[in-house]
């Protein structure tokens, strides 16, 4: 049996550059005009209803037709300040584009995502600031977390005249936009260029390398600031609950993706010839596809339920498969064992019982592999909440909030992956931050909204 085959430089620099080029090159002006002309400009706009941030889709497309790109971008960005990133990573095929009425006529939907990118890129490229701060209120809010939820909240609070301090655990702000998304989806350092534009509004201070629960404590922030927003994400990575999981070839997919996003020479990262990814979400797809693009020969995703249950969208699943990744459904890992320098992963086939619960069929099989990636979800690191951890209402290890994103702890709001019911999308995190900022503003002005 072959020994483990893990090494760097499986592909040439030219091949890697091609593999990690822009996943969807931007539209040229003629293409954007043709695509915008396909919009029916529906009065009731089901695409707008389907957008988590409520972007006026027909409105921004109409402005593209009239060559008013800054007006189009303003329509997008006033609802979704990260409209540029969302145009690249949002699963439009299950949101706005799925709702497009062209689908009901057997036609393909309007390419809303690409049109959104066309408009927002025009503003970011020209570095045009579309928003201005209101008169300073004298209030200062602590935003913990520099990801989409935190930056969205910070920007809206700054627009409303408040001062904001963003505490980011990383050296760069951006959260998953910077560290957790496949490199071919956001090329040319786009995440940081978008963030620089967001921060350019003023009134937002970013304190990097500052960890909640270690460098700053939540109870101190509550006393020091007029309000606190938690966009802390999910710092803890779930384990498989199997033996030999601490092996140096059993890796967290999240960490590998972060390393890949930050390294200058992608070919310098060691990658296995044979890779198994355990999980079914976007992280699983991203690490699997990127392993292939680094030169892995055999990459499998193994998921315990069916394709319709996967967190990754149907389009992302198809993208993985057309990229050379094999997806195997209805199997769960039950054992990891070293065998002749390789890692043998044992699986048992699964099925749903009549009551909907998942169980093993008793049939087992194994895969010998060089590297195993864990992509089975994350949870809040309770240590970050310190002595106030028990003060929060939580469910399934996440914070419970009301519709205004207010937690059960007075003066604290939350949004993004750390709240219960969140669907792990950048666009949803942006909406969380926006709604929380509006609620915080009303609270500070003595216009407390109802808690429904």
The CATH number assigned to the domain holding 94 equals 1.10.1060.10
Statement to judge: residues 188 and 223 lie in one domain: yes
Residue 449 maps to a domain: no
Statement to judge: residues 150 and 218 lie in one domain: yes
Statement to judge: residues 257 and 367 lie in one domain: yes
> Torsion angle of alpha carbons 328, 334, 340, 343, nearest 10°?
60
Helices and strands counted in the chain (H then E): 16, 19
**Tokens linked to 209:** 């390398």
Q: Which H/E stretch holds residue 347? A: strand 342-352
**Whole-angstrom Cα distance, residue 57 to residue 119?**
12
pLDDT computed for residue 207 by the predictor: 98
Residue 349 maps to a domain: yes
Statement to judge: residues 62 and 117 lie in one domain: yes
- Strand 227-230 versus strand 371-374 pairing type: unpaired
CATH number at residue 294: 3.50.50.60
Residue 24 maps to a domain: no
Among 101, 126, 151, which residue terminates a domain?
126
Among 374, 394, 425, which residue terminates a domain?
374
Q: Check if the beta carbon of residue 280 is closer than 8 Å to that of residue 301.
A: yes
Q: Check if the beta carbon of residue 433 is closer than 8 Å to that of residue 415.
A: yes
Residue 58 maps to a domain: yes
The secondary structure of residue 47, as a DSSP letter, is: H
Q: What is the pLDDT along the chain (452 residues), one digit of tens a residue?
A: 457 899 999 999 999 999 999 988 899 999 999 999 999 999 999 999 999 999 999 999 999 999 999 999 999 999 999 999 999 999 999 999 999 999 877 899 999 999 999 999 999 999 999 999 999 999 999 999 999 999 999 999 999 999 999 999 999 999 999 999 999 999 999 999 999 999 999 999 999 999 999 999 999 999 999 999 999 998 777 889 999 999 999 999 999 999 999 999 999 999 999 999 999 999 999 999 999 999 999 999 999 999 999 999 999 999 999 999 999 999 999 999 999 899 999 999 999 998 989 999 999 999 999 999 999 988 888 888 988 889 999 998 899 999 999 999 999 999 999 999 888 899 999 999 999 999 999 999 998 665 55
pLDDT computed for residue 138 by the predictor: 97
Statement to judge: residues 109 and 162 lie in one domain: no
Its domain, for residue 266, covers 6-18+237-374
- Strand 358-369 versus strand 342-352 pairing type: antiparallel
pLDDT computed for residue 449 by the predictor: 60
Statement to judge: residues 259 and 190 lie in one domain: no
Region for 53 from its dihedrals, namely left if φ exceeds 0, alpha if ψ lies in -120 to 50, beta otherwise:
alpha
Cα of first residue to Cα of last residue in the chain, in angstroms, is: 62
pLDDT computed for residue 2 by the predictor: 59
Residue 25 maps to a domain: no
pLDDT computed for residue 186 by the predictor: 93
**Whole-angstrom Cα distance, residue 138 to residue 26?**
42
**Whole-angstrom Cα distance, residue 187 to residue 19?**
12
Among 336, 357, 374, which residue terminates a domain?
374
Residue 31 maps to a domain: no
Region for 241 from its dihedrals, namely left if φ exceeds 0, alpha if ψ lies in -120 to 50, beta otherwise:
left
Statement to judge: residues 336 and 394 lie in one domain: no
Residue 450 maps to a domain: no
Q: Check if the beta carbon of residue 303 is closer than 8 Å to that of residue 327.
A: yes
How many domains does the chain contain in total?
3
Q: Check if the beta carbon of residue 38 is closer than 8 Å to that of residue 110.
A: yes
Statement to judge: residues 347 and 258 lie in one domain: yes
Please classify residue 355 by burial: count the beta carbons closer than 10 Å to its beta carbon, then call 0-12 exposed, 13-18 middle and 19+ buried: exposed
pLDDT computed for residue 383 by the predictor: 82
CA distances from residue 420 to 156, 395, 452 in whole angstroms, order as listed: 23, 6, 16
Statement to judge: residues 295 and 317 lie in one domain: yes
How many other C-beta atoms lie within 10 A of the C-beta of residue 136?
10
């Amino acid at each position: 049996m072959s020994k483990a085959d893990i090494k760097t430089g499986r592909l040439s620099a030219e091949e890697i550059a091609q593999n990690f080029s822009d996943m969807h090159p931007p539209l040229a002006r003629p293409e954007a005009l043709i695509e915008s002309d396909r919009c029916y400009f529906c009065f009731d706009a089901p695409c707008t209803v389907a957008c988590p941030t409520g972007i006026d889709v027909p409105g921004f497309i109409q402005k593209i037709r009239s060559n008013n790109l800054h007006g189009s971008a303003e329509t997008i960005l006033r609802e979704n300040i990260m409209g540029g990133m969302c145009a690249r990573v949002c699963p439009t095929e299950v949101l706005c584009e799925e709702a497009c009425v062209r689908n009901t006529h057997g036609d393909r939907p309007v390419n809303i995502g690409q049109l959104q990118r066309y408009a927002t890129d025009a503003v970011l490229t020209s570095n045009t600031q579309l928003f201005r701060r209101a008169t300073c209120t004298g209030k200062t809010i602590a935003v913990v977390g520099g990801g989409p939820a935190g930056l969205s909240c910070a920007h809206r609070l700054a627009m409303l005249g408040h001062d904001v301090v963003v505490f980011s655990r990383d050296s760069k702000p951006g959260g998953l936009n910077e560290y957790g998304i496949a490199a071919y989806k956001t090329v040319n350092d786009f995440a940081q260029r978008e963030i620089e534009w967001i921060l350019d509004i003023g009134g937002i201070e970013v304190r990097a390398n500052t960890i909640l629960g270690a460098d700053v404590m939540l109870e101190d922030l509550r006393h020091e600031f007029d309000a606190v927003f938690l966009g802390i994400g999910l710092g803890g990575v779930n384990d498989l609950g199997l033996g030999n999981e601490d092996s140096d070839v059993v890796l967290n997919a999240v960490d590998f993706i972060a390393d890949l996003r930050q390294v200058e020479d992608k070919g310098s990262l060691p990658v296995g010839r044979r890779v198994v990814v355990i999980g079914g979400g976007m992280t699983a797809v991203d690490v699997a596809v990127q392993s292939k693009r680094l030169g892995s020969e055999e990459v499998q995703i193994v998921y315990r339920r069916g394709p319709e249950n996967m967190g990754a969208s149907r389009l992302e699943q198809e993208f993985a498969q057309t990229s050379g990744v094999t997806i195997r459904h209805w199997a769960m890992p039950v054992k990891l064992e070293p065998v002749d320098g390789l890692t043998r992963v044992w699986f048992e086939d699964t099925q749903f019982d009549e009551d909907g619960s998942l169980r093993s069929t008793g049939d087992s099989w194994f895969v010998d592999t060089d590297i195993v990636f864990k992509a089975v979800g994350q949870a809040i690191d309770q240590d970050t909440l310190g002595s106030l951890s028990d003060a929060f209402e939580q469910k399934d290890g996440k914070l419970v909030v009301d519709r205004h994103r207010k937690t059960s702890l007075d003066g604290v709001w939350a949004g993004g992956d750390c709240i219960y019911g969140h669907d792990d999308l950048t666009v949803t995190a942006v909406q969380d931050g926006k709604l929380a900022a509006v609620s915080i503003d009303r609270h500070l002005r003595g216009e407390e909204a109802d808690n429904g």
